[in-house]
Amino acid sequence: MSGTRGPVIDPHEEWLDTAAAHALQALDGPDRARVDAHVRTCPICTRRVDEHRRVLAVLPYALPAEEPPASLRASILGHAASTARPQGASVLRAERGRRASAPPRHWAVRLWRPAAWAVAALLIVTLALWNVELRQRLARTGEPPEIGRLARLPVGTVVELVGTGTPGASARLYVTADGQRGELAVAGLRSLGPDRVYQLWFARPGDKPITGGPFSVNAQGEAIASVAVPLPLSEVRAIAITEEPAPGVHAPTGKHLLDLRG
Amino acid sequence: MDSSSDRVAAPASTEAGALDRALLARIARQDQEALAALYDRHARVLYSLALRIVGDRELAQEVLQDTFLRCWNGAERYDPDRGHVMAWLTGVTRHRAIDLLRSRPHQARLREGGPLPAPDRLAGPRQPDAGETVLLRRAMTTALAALSPAQREAIELAYYDGLTQTEIARRQGEPLGTVKSRMRSGLERLRTALGPMIES
């Protein structure tokens, strides 16, 4: 071959760079309208912007958790109660009255509810397809161990536990696709001394509980622990967490602190 | 141990998303208990976001109140095809907070204001996070730590401080193209790290 050529640059790369700034709403005025118009008509950029937005929606989870004052909750709920719109047939009457006598509300009521069932059905089918695709994708890719472990959690099955013996505590057990291992995310338990541990239990109806392993929580009462799932989930009818002597026991002795959500 | 019925559920993120959508549907029917439940699920993260942006607890409370009252008055506007309920709430909170950040009275107030009041004096009793929140916090913190400092700064300047890419380029002393690439590669790395946790 004769002559030289520069590197081939995909013209879409520039748009994809811009898609990130678009999702972050960091475009300068003159660029905004141009990029808006492109994204609206380009399925690749639409999808990429949507992906970026999903990431950004959970970005605040990395912030130090700040507690709003308790009075704010009461204030918001009180205001909501005082402005509640009437429901049923009276909603339509009230809405007609409002349209006739007042300027249009910024938050106009849409009569979309009849379509909600269709949307819900479509969503269920979409999620099922997503899960299959997800498992295939995860099988093909390899992430760093810790991030990969976290990222894989939702692929299997999730079981929710609630604080029966410790009000306010909650936990989720993410079971891997093979059903033999799990990641337990717990919050709201008190921190224990070195001679005590929390322990996870599984049981079939009428059988003795089998442990999934002990774990400890940090100073904030939280834990993410790798646990065993010693029984097929299809046969398990009870899952619980108890407090036990370290390093753990063969049969539960403490009261149930969390149980499978009823 | 007590026996109970089958509770093998859907994938985690799907389940949390479905719960939020169900709550929002009830809020559209003016169900006050549903509003309280949605508040209890998300108020802490949204308040943390508002406070990070406006830097003033009183104003952050205004932002949070505005977010939930908009939700109360306009739950019908939520379009499930456009993302998770949490993404919608985060978007409303961020827009309101950045609007406030850019307003002149707020800037004057920040110039005049003293130190923030101590959190423990104003905050309500700390409610435990749900398991899913613990998980997301851990995953996002881990994912952010894996970014380069410049990638992370570019994303945070845009997201929390509301700067444009040109302003970020000026702040970082880099060409605009470099900043664009940083924001893109940073978001792509976060997405890869978080994976299916954010897919629903």
pLDDT at B15: 62
B7-10 long-range Cβ contacts below 8 angstroms, 24+ apart = B7/A159, B7/A160, B7/A260, B7/A261, B8/A157, B8/A159, B8/A233, B8/A234, B9/A157, B9/A158, B9/A159, B9/A160, B10/A127, B10/A158
Work out the number of other CB atoms within 10 angstroms of the CB of residue A29: 8
Least confident of B102-111, B151-160, B168-177: B102-111
DSSP assignment of B111-137, as one string? HH--SPPPHHHH--PPPPPPHHHHHHH
Give CA–CA dist B107/B90, Å, rounded: 23
Please give the share of chain B, as a percent, with pLDDT higher than 90: 48
Q: What is the pLDDT of residues A146-158, one digit of tens each?
A: 334 434 444 457 7
Nearest CA in chain A to B161: A26
Interface A:B, Cβ pairs < 8 A: 309
pLDDT at A174: 77
- Partners of residue A138 in chain B, C-beta under 8 Å: 195-196
Least confident of A41-55, A130-144, B103-117, B140-154: A130-144
Of B65, B165, B193, the CB nearest to A147: B193
pLDDT at A157: 72
Residue ranges per domain, chain B? 11-127, 128-200
pLDDT at B176 over 80: yes
SS3 content of chain B, % helix, strand, coil (to 5): 75, 0, 25
pLDDT at A202 over 70: yes
By the CB < 8 Å criterion, does B132 face chain A? yes
Q: What is the pLDDT of residues A53-86, one digit of tens each?
A: 889 999 999 999 888 998 999 999 998 888 877 6
By the CB < 8 Å criterion, does A54 face chain B? yes
Rg (CA), chain A: 26
Q: Does B128-200 match B11-127 at the fold level?
A: no
pLDDT at B191 over 60: yes
Q: Do A157 and B137 touch (CB under 8 A)?
A: no
Task: Of B189, B186, B191, B169, give the one whose Cα is nearest residue B178.
Answer: B169
CATH topology (fold) of B128-200: Arc Repressor Mutant, subunit A (1.10.10)
Q: For the whole model, what pTM was predicted? A: 0.60
pLDDT at A176 over 70: yes
Nearest CA in chain B to A205: B3
pLDDT at B2: 38
- Quick one: pLDDT band at residue A96, thresholds 50, 70, 90? very low
The stretch A25-44 carries a mean pLDDT of 83
CB crowding A105-123: b at 16 or more within 10 Å, else e: eeeebeeeeeeeeeeeeeb
- Quick one: pLDDT band at residue B48, thresholds 50, 70, 90? very high
Question: Does A88 or A70 have the greater pLDDT score?
Answer: A70
pLDDT at A108 over 50: no
pLDDT at A144: 33
pLDDT at A171 over 70: yes
Name the helix (H) or strand (E) containing B16.
Answer: helix B12-28
Q: Do B61 and A28 touch (CB under 8 A)?
A: no
- Selected residues 57-96 of chain B with any CB under 8 Å from a CB in chain A: 60-61, 64-65, 68-70, 72-74, 76-77, 80-81, 83-84, 86-87, 90-91
Can you say whether the dihedral through the CA atoms of B179, B181, B184, B186 is positive or negative?
negative
Q: Any idea what the Cα angle at residue B59 is, between residues B57 and B65, rounded to 5°?
A: 105
Answer yes or no: are the C-beta atoms of B172 and B153 closer than 8 Å.
yes
Tell me the CATH number of domain B11-127, given options 1.10.1740.10, 3.40.50.300, 3.10.28.10, 1.10.10.10: 1.10.1740.10
pLDDT at A9: 53
pLDDT at A201: 95
Interface TM-score (ipTM) > 0.85 = no
Of A77, A87, A134, the CB nearest to B199: A134
The stretch B120-145 carries a mean pLDDT of 68
The stretch B15-21 carries a mean pLDDT of 77
Question: Does A247 or A113 have the greater pLDDT score?
Answer: A247
Task: Of B90, B73, B138, B102, give the one whose Cα is nearest residue A54.
Answer: B90
- List the domains of chain A with CATH numbers: 13-54 (no CATH), 151-260 (2.60.40.200)
